[in-house]
Homo-oligomer: A and B are copies of this chain.
Amino acid sequence: MTPPEGTDLPVVLLSHRGPVSFERDPEGGRTASRGAGGLVTALTGLVSDLPDAVWVCAAASGEDAAVAAEHGGRAVRVSLDAEPRVLDEDHGDAGGAPTMRLRLVEVDPKAHDDFYTVIANPLLWFLQHGMYGLALDPRLTKREHAAWEDGYVAVNRQFADAVVEEVKAVGGRALVMLHDYHFYLVGQQVREQCPEALLSFFLHIPWPGPDAWRVLPPPWRERVLHGLLGNDVVAFHTEGFARNFLLSAQELLGLPVDLEAMTVRVGDRTVAARHYPISIDVAAIRELAASPEVAEHAAALAETFGGDDRQLILRVDRTDPSKNIVRGFEAFGTLLEDHPELAGRVTFLALLQPSRQDVPEYADYLAEIGATVARINAAHGGEGWEPVDLRLGDDLALAVAAYSVCDVLMVNALADGMNLVAKESVVVNRRDGVLALSENTGAHQELGAFAVTLYPFDIQQQADALHAALIMDGALRRARREAAARVVEENDIAKWLHAQLSDLGVTPGPASDPGAASDPEPASDPGAG
């Protein structure tokens, strides 16, 4: 990649889910909610420092679409306080709160459905997490081919057009930051129309080796790869994913790659594959952990599971097959068989958020989870002791409370780009809890040295590892938990973002900075109306 000479560049962000979404309340008023999660927090922090930055995302609700329509599809300025609102003017009164420019893109519902529920989830998600038993699935038929063209390709084109419009609005030079597997094709299209833009792409899920990509027919996989190679930098959570990307370009496109420099040549351009492990907002999660709501949950959990001779194993996950929840319970069942002395003394609390229940594999998987828990509780429970306490729902305060009081946190994902549950738990745990962490998570690169490693397909090994965690010496537990917490503190979400910007050689800046624009005329800003 060739870093631009200017150090300040206006920023255009793209992600499928945005930082703010609007709803209509029963009284007919407009309400808004902030997106959750470290990524939204980090990127919100970035763009709220930059008055002209713009965040492009999908209109996620009817009210989002209404907001977009009211403004002719252009970006709107919103305040970023507890109750975000659309500001009337480009510099309208936010009451001192930070503001950001938001471009909500309304997508035809049928096209979005094809894009989202036929191609991105499940096809790309399953492929990239290695979840196809290839004997019968996937099956690419007319329906999938139509969904690819009229859904994935069309929606990518629509978002690329929106990004191009924003880049051109600032004179053609901008730092464009594209996010995740929804938008593999955007980079190439923006490059073609905005050759002076600096394009970076970040993938939040695993990138498997070339073999896995052969599940897609060549026209699809070549389009995915060429789409990504339109960027200057393609970034991943781990070095292994970055290497897999280069090997895919080599094997599937025949391009020359340099595995030392971690680059690939495409025509006269060089594209870099980089890795930046994403993280969490440590201060924010600790602030939440200190809240009365969490304290109340923690007290209730201590009441239920506490006591000197009792221990708590915890997991917090979406009910996604990639999270490997069934094998985790089977490992716990094996642990109880192998160690009858644990009867009545250890409980497995599982806080699970039902996920994608419109996808048959996900519905089946949730049923298998329920069946497995019932078998284990029937086989091992009794005398007032329920070995597995399964709670379905989505309650961040409860999860943080459980992080704080658990003795073992189990993360046994069969594949996971990063896994932020592991990072969250080590910075709020108060019982020197042991992290039991799958080797197939991105987080294992950073935290594996301080964790009990789990091999996700090996149920016996996971049972043995849980036992090792439960009987681990207190001083060792403490030392490891503290070391893991330090790693997360030192590599928090701010560092993740700053490392990328630093490597790109840019300081994001306002569009009006003349050093950033290649156009000698000051850039006009039609997108901010």
Q: Which residues of A contact B (CB under 8 A)?
A: 129-142, 144-145, 208-212, 214-218, 240, 244, 247, 251, 259, 321-322, 324, 326-327, 330, 334, 361, 365, 368, 414-415, 439-440, 455, 457-461
* 29 A-B contact pairs sorted by A residue (CB < 8 Å): A130-B134, A130-B212, A131-B135, A132-B133, A133-B134, A134-B414, A134-B415, A134-B457, A135-B321, A135-B322, A135-B361, A135-B365, A135-B414, A138-B457, A139-B330, A139-B459, A140-B458, A140-B459, A140-B460, A142-B334, A142-B460, A208-B209, A208-B211, A209-B209, A210-B240, A211-B244, A214-B440, A217-B455, A240-B251
Most B CB atoms within 10 A — which of A135, A138, A214, A244?
Answer: A135
Copies of this chain, complex-wide, total: 2
A439 to chain B: which residues have CB within 8 Å?
214, 218
Take A135-B361, A135-B414 as given contacts and tell me if A217 and B461 are in contact as well, using a CB distance cutoff of 8 Å.
yes
A134 to chain B: which residues have CB within 8 Å?
129-131, 133, 321, 414-415, 457
Q: How far is the CA of A330 from the CA of B143 in the complex (A)?
A: 14
A132 to chain B: which residues have CB within 8 Å?
133
B139 touches A457 (CB 8 A): yes
Q: How far is the CA of A129 from the CA of B134 in the complex (A)?
A: 9
Q: How far is the CA of A458 from the CA of B214 in the complex (A)?
A: 10
Q: Which of B133, B240, B247, B461 contacts A137 (CB 8 A)?
A: B133
A211 touches B212 (CB 8 A): yes
Q: Which of B129, B216, B365, B457 contacts A215 (CB 8 A)?
A: B457
A210 touches B211 (CB 8 A): no
A217 touches B361 (CB 8 A): no
A326 touches B218 (CB 8 A): no
Q: What is the distance, in angstroms, from A200's C-beta to the closest C-beta of chain B?
A: 25
